[in-house]
Amino acid sequence: MAEWAEIADGVWQARYQPLDVSIGLVRGEHGLLLVDTRCGPAEAGEIVADVARLRQGDIRWVVNTHAHYDHTFGNQLFAPTATIYGHHRIAAHFRDYEAAELAGRPDVVLTPPHVPVEAVLELDLGGRSVRLLALPPGHTDTDLVVHVPDVGCWIVGDVVEESGPPQAGPDAFPQSWPHALRVLADMIGPHELVVPGHGRVVDRAFVLAQAALLEPAPPPATP
């Protein structure tokens, strides 16, 4: 069980162990939008139980911020009753990168998004619009962020990480990651909230600082 913190009106963050994974929840008049699903059906079941205790409604929409197992391997639990959205490259990423992780998780059925997002998609939750925006390659080539404009809140996945250094695996794009972060920062208002994939809520300044941290070192000067 994790504690859900209401970080803005009708927007919650929970930080689940292991891995300190951020899970987001957004309330509309027609139901709840869940952001990311953890590592498998058992962990996704914990989310369902915790959300039920909030008594805010039913999960009708699910968004994956990127393809990694700790954010998508719980999708199968939600697929029968909710519409799942995510970057249009998630299915290919599952095929190309997640076989090794899947081998150790026999209870997981890879479940790509029902609705692939190529650029920008707006969802009407009832009295509240939420925007899904695909980013340039960075942490992966499947990064997608969720913007809740009426309360100035962004849920961004692992393109931003706070509780540890940014993690770059074989599917990362370190040369273009800083650019992806600057693209994101250009959309974030100075007083808006940013929920990273791991860690506490941050802001635009943190996103820009992470972009600077990830900038490749300049080549040594020639004598």
Summarised one tens digit per residue, pLDDT across range 91-101 is: 999 999 998 89
Residue-averaged pLDDT of the chain: 97
Least confident segment among 30-34, 60-64, 101-105, 131-135:
101-105
pLDDT for 223 beyond 80? no
Amino acid at 105: R
How far is 48 from 108, CA to CA, in rounded Å?
A: 17
**pLDDT (tens digit, 9 = 90+) per residue, 33-66?**
999 999 999 999 999 999 999 999 999 999 999 9
| CATH, range 4-214 | 3.60.15.10
Q: Is the pLDDT of residue 217 over 80?
A: no
The confidence score (pLDDT) of residue 39 equals 98
Structure tokens at 151: 């309360």
- Between CA 80 and CA 74 the distance in angstroms is 12
Any idea where the domains of the chain sit in the sequence? 4-214
Give me the mean pLDDT over the 155-168 stretch: 97
Per-residue model confidence (pLDDT) at position 89: 99
